[in-house]
Amino acid sequence: MLQSAEMPRHTVKASDFSETYRRAFRWMLLARTTEEKIASVFRSGGKITGGVFLGKGQEAISVATGIALRNGDIFAPLIRDQAGRLAFGESLLDCTLTYLGARSGPMRGRDGNVHRGRPLEGLLPMISHLGAMISVVNGMLMAHRFQGKKNTVGAASLGDGATSTGAFHESINQAAVENLPLVLVVTNNQYAYSTPNDRQFACADLVDKAIGYGIRGHSVDGTDLGACLRVIGSAVELARQGEGPQLVVATNLRLVGHGEHDDAHYIAPHLKEMPLGRDSLAVAEAELLQNAWADSETIEGWTRDSISQVEKAIAHSLREPSPDPATEDWCALSSRHLAEGLSSNGSRG
């Protein structure tokens, strides 16, 4: 697969910006292709249960986060981070196996879709409660400090809506007090589910929150891959150099429903006409062509490659067995000898 072959995980930052841009674009393309396929499998029915939450339009900011991180770093993605996950090093199979509920996926059917992760590899499996992953990243960074691991960074994704949670506040303040190398990437896509910004917060710009925590804030056009790479890249670099937590606020528009069940009819039409309503993938493609960083033939080749990777991953995942309740280990404790009712088949505590 492209992931292991052409694009080694956590490649050291290319000195050549166009090279990074191309790599990032390919992850975006792969993410978009993956999600379109997932959506179509979902719509065809029967194969995917539970919600399907897509990152369409958010690939630029997401990939920029994933690509800026390297081995030993931490990443806590949220629901719109397919691109960032791939760039960080999550395998495509982790995605498709999880969506298709395969026993062999990292969550073994116990959790699904966007909830996958591998904590030992620095990729945190989100719980649903918004804001709850940030302090977990903080703790991992505190552990690095205790252990003398230097120059690692932890990045966490968040939406505009999640900035209203108490967890967001406590954890960003905690990171500031501990001066942790946390990069908090807030993607303001104008809506939290159906709720527009003006019912969510009242400050002029979410980046204004940085000053209240005594940390550095950065704004970026979330539809512009080049800007995302530069701004996230430098935020990550600052964090890595010991400059403490960095808040990055990207502006864009959610180009899909909250989930695939949602037609997003409530999105104000004028937003779609604004620059923030652009599709970051299309913008990046145009940029590639305009700068002659890639020609259309090359891009077509990449597209074909993405499709083939995705087809393979889906086909493989469809063949994988589902979890079997009879052989499932119904034990929530690692210390098995302390678990209750393991043999009694649920008939008592």
Partner 1 sequence: MITYLEAIREAQRQALENDPRVYIYGQDIGAFGGAFKATKNLAQSFPGRVLDSPISEDAMVGSAIGASLQGMRPIVEMQFADFSTVGFNQIVNQAATMFWRTGVPCPITIRLPSGGTPGSGPFHSQNLEALYAHYPGLILMTPATVEDAYSMLLEAVALDDPVIFCEHKYLYFHLKAESLPSEALPVGRARIARAGRDATVVTYSAMVHEALSAAEELSTQGWEIEVIDLRSIKPLDTDTVLASVARTGRILAVGEAWPWGGVTAEVLARVATDGFNLLDAPPMRLNSKDTPVPFHPNLWGTHRPTAQTIVSALRDLLRL
3-state secondary structure 192-213: ECCEEHHHCCCCCCHHHHHHHH
Residue nearer to partner 1 on the CB measure, 50 or 233: 50
Q: Indicate the residue among 208 and 262 with the shorter CB distance to ligand TPP.
A: 262
Q: Distance (Å, rounded) from C-alpha 11 to C-alpha 311?
A: 25
Nearer to its own copies, 175 or 267 (CB): 175
SS3 328: coil
CA dihedral 207, 208, 211, 212 (to 10 degrees): -110
Residue identified by tokens 């652009």 is 278
Task: Tell the burial category of 11 from Cβ atoms under 10 Å away from its Cβ (0-12, 13-18, 19+).
Answer: middle
151 binds ligand TPP (CB under 6 A): no
Q: How far apart are CA 2 and CA 4, in angstroms?
A: 6
> 143 touches which of partner 1, ligand TPP, Mg ion, none (CB within 5 to 8 A by kind)?
partner 1
Beta partners for residue 155, in sequence order: 75, 183
Q: Is 4 in the site for ligand TPP (CB under 6 A)?
A: no
Q: Is 80 in the site for ligand TPP (CB under 6 A)?
A: yes
Length of the chain: 349
The residue behind tokens 């991180």 is 69
The correct pick among 119, 212, 214, 275 for binding partner 1 (CB under 8 A) is 119
Handedness of CA 191, 194, 197, 200 (dihedral sign): negative
| Least separation in angstroms between CB 305 and its own copies | 44
Residues with Cβ within 8 Å of residue 278, at least 6 apart in sequence: 223, 252
91 binds partner 1 (CB under 8 A): no
Site mask, ligand TPP, residues 255-294, x = CB under 6 A?
---x------------------------------------
DSSP letter at 119 equals G
Per CB under 8 A, 33 contacts partner 1: no
* 193 part of the interface to ligand TPP, by CB under 6 A: yes
Interaction of residue 125 with ligand TPP, rule CB under 6 A:
no
Non-local (6+) Cβ contacts of 14 within 8 A are: 20, 23
Provide the binding-site residues for its own copies, judged by CB under 8 A: 164-170, 173, 176-177, 179, 198-204, 208-215, 244
Residues 194-213, mask of contacts with partner 1 (x by CB under 8 A): xx---xxx------------
Asked if 129 touches ligand TPP (CB under 6 A), the answer is yes
Q: Which does 204 bind (CB under 5 to 8 A by kind): Mg ion, ligand TPP, its own copies, none?
A: its own copies
Q: Is 160 in the site for ligand TPP (CB under 6 A)?
A: yes
Cβ proximity to ligand TPP, 238 vs 267, nearer residue: 267
Q: Where do contacts with ligand TPP occur on this chain (CB under 6 A)?
A: 79-80, 128-130, 159-162, 165, 189, 191-193, 254, 258
